[in-house]
Every structure is written in structure tokens, then in C-alpha cells.
Amino acid sequence: MKVAIICPMEEEIGYYKEHLGLSAGEIVGSTEVWTTSYQGHEIVVARCGIGKVNAAIATTLVAQTSPDLIINTGSAGALAPDRQIGDIVIGEATMYHDADARAFGYELGQVPTMPARYKAPENLIQDFLNAYHETDLTATRGLILTGDQFIADTNKVNDLYQTFRGAQCAEMEGAAVAQVANQFGIDCIVIRAISDTAQQDANVVFDEFVVTAGQNAAKVTLNYLKHLN
């Protein structure tokens, strides 16, 4: 099986570099891409950079290598009040929180003519839940929100949590990855680990815990690949 893994930041991709033996990758624009193998599977790893456009560019590049599955991992800020730093969120769906075409009859968060939510296949969700059980991490399934905003305000956190029911966390790439995967007809799932909450100084906490969050999300992903047929 061929699997593509997309991470936004260098801090979030370090675990893959260490455990997959990645060194110098191919640079395409601002995207860095590595090809390797793991547990009998062909693996493409890409560092996309931060934000929706960077994520879409990287996903388009790796989609053209015809992977069977695209996995987006990295860090996210908590929205649900019971999510703690280091927790894993397995995205049963992703959607934008900063898209608004309701004037034309679309849902809040829906890009015109696109799905309102990009749902992961149920078997993938269950497989990742099983993979997390082999770690010492806390994981939940739920909705992941994407937007070109770093959410550092408690009022904004509460607003998003109330507006998008079931939202567990917010980040800046996942729905863009899922949208491109949807366009190419490739299965996709977004896995995020909590790096910060708006209950604290989010920017300070993010800088402190982004590496740990990236490692946690990557650890679950590699556990998943170990059992992938």
C-alpha cells in the first residue's frame, strides 16, 4: 500500500525523520518531499508549511504520486473544554471555520460546490483508535476545524465550540488537505495532537509543546502503519 503523510511544520515532522530515516528530501516550491518504505508499505512524507494554500499545494503534489491514503498529522489548539495538551484528536470529519457563503444557500464553513464536511472513512477512524490504544496517549474522535487563523482568544474558542457542534480542535491545514484528497478520490484522515489551549497564553504554550504534539500524532500514525495490511 502507498501512504502519503503530510505535516505542516519542521517541529511536527521530526518524529518521522527519526523513525523513518529521512534525510535530505526533494524541494518542490516550498514543499519538501521524502520517499521511503515502512513495514512493507511505500511512504511519501511531505512538509507543506503553515496554512491552507500551502497544504493544498503539497497535497496536490503527493496526490499525483497516486497514494492509496493521505494522512495529515500535526498539532492543533483545543476547542472542547476537556481536551488537554498532548491529547490526540482523530478527525472523523474536517471543515473550514472561516468560509462563509451562506448568502448563496451554503452551510457556514462550506466552500461553494464542495462538501460542507470532509468525512474520514469509518474503518480508518476505527483503525486509528485501535492504534492509539497501544500508546500511553488519550485520544478521541471528533470534528476538526481549519482556518487561516491561530486561535489565541478564549471568546473565539468558545464561539467556535458553540457554533460548530462536536468540534474538538482547530488548526490551519486539515480541511484543505481533505478537500484536495476528495478532488482526487483518495481516502484521507486528519490526526492532530493538542499543543495549546486559549485558557493559557496560547502562543507561549504552543512554542513549548508543538514538538511534543507532533510526536504524539506521529506516534499514533506509525502504530497504525504497523498493522496496516
- Report how far apart, in Å, the C-alpha atoms of 215 and of each of 16, 135, 194 are: 8, 12, 11
Answer whether 211's CB lies under 8 Å from 9's CB.
Answer: no
Active site residue 18: no
Catalytic residue, candidates 10, 82, 196, 201: 196
**Selection from 107, 73, 63 nearest residue 221 by Cα:** 73
Q: Of the residues 12, 32, 92, 171, which is catalytic? A: 12
The answer to whether 158 touches 94, Cβ cutoff 8 Å, is no
Contacts with 112 (C-beta within 8 Å, 6 or more apart), sequence order: 101, 104, 106
Paired residues of 47 in beta bridges = 7, 32
> Catalytic annotation on 196?
yes
List active site positions.
12, 196
